[in-house]
Structure 1
Amino acid sequence: MHALRWRTRAASTLAAVAFTMATTVASATASAASTPHPIKAVAGQSVPVAQQASTADAQALGVDYRTWQRDVAAVVAVARPYIEQRTSNPSGEKQAIVLDIDNTSLETDFHYFWEFPTPAVKPVLDLARFADSRGVDVFFVTARPGIIYSLTEYNLEKAGYPVSGLHVRSLPDLFDEVSDYKTGKRAEIEAKGYTIIANIGNKASDLTGGHAEKTFKLPDYDGQLS
């Protein structure tokens, strides 16, 4: 079910972006830069149309944006001291962390595809930058199809992430279970001499299969987030 869920909405809209926005990234970026995060209306104040759309999208998923941010921050608050401790004496070890993308690194389900680039999940962005500052390479392993590799890489870098490597699904990968595909990619990273000290995602399929010293699961609210 998880493989199908990158999914009816996210995959189709982002694939459409790959064709319709490939030559207009700069203008899309300028437009999106002025789009704030979704917030709830405050009594006596109006909410811009773009914010209303994002807020409505989040509400349609049954997930409150602020609650989600709080729950993500709680997980990151556990991950950060672990990474700090684990990187305190690397002794020449090549260390890496692996991140999922949708609703782990980027706020995918809280923004429509025309709000491009999708904003970063701020607590995770801060964690990735912290790990990078400690000499840790940051890899992304996503179930997104290869057709949007370039847009995904652009989005991550524009959002401020250090990107040591990005793995997307090629055509043969589409026939594998997401968990098997992601496990295989982590094994490939290890084969390059890395020790994956942390693997972070919001689905069980992001985290099962080993090839990481420690896993951290962000909320998906029983599958309500992709």
Structure 2
Amino acid sequence: MSTTFHIRLASLAAKDNERFLAFVDSQLPWLESVGSGGQWGSTPRGNVEASQKKAFTRVQKSEACEGKPYSSYWGRAYVLEAEVDVDSLSDEVKQLSGPPNENGRVRVPVAGMVLESTSADYVRSILPEIDEKSPFLYLFFLASDRRTSSINKGSGAFLINHAKEEATRLGIRRIAGDCWTGNGRKLVQFYESQGFKSIEDFEAGDQKWPGTVFEMRI
């Protein structure tokens, strides 16, 4: 049987805050191998207190916003799970899955996404914190688990489509975000393939991290 995606809201009880950091850490060796080590650096986030606090706060905020209307405080975090036959998985991926159902299928967390109603502070010269004339959802975090690369194909596109559905549900007609522009703008090209358009490039922080702000009108 084929892979089926299911999306759920992140929760502290499920330790999804730790899961998001594990997603990032799983990407670091692969990014380095394809010439994109500058995107997230080489330092694992899982044991960094500041990263732990940020992840905890985002999931906590998401839970607090459940059922709440769009506002300057609004934010939601999501986990994407792939439902597959347990016998098709490697031992490593089986350890990441839940228990099998009566049909021998399991759900494996393969990717995560965080949406906010305010922009990242390092892009404020390009995109205001809040745009009352043209409100947006900000794609704050999008990452897959590299350990599940055999079953997570299409996870990014699935989550972006969910972001569009969420924006429509909230009456928002715009999604914005930012990404790294290094290594020949390959990541930019991915977002463009999903319907985003770059607005303006920028450099952030003392290391002059190269990025671009993008948006999609829906």
TM over 0.5: no
Between the two structures, name the one with larger relative contact order (CA 8 Å, sep ≥ 6).
1
The structure with the greater share of residues assigned to helix is 1
TM-score tier after normalising by the smaller chain length: 0.3 to 0.5
The structure with the greater share of residues assigned to strand is 2
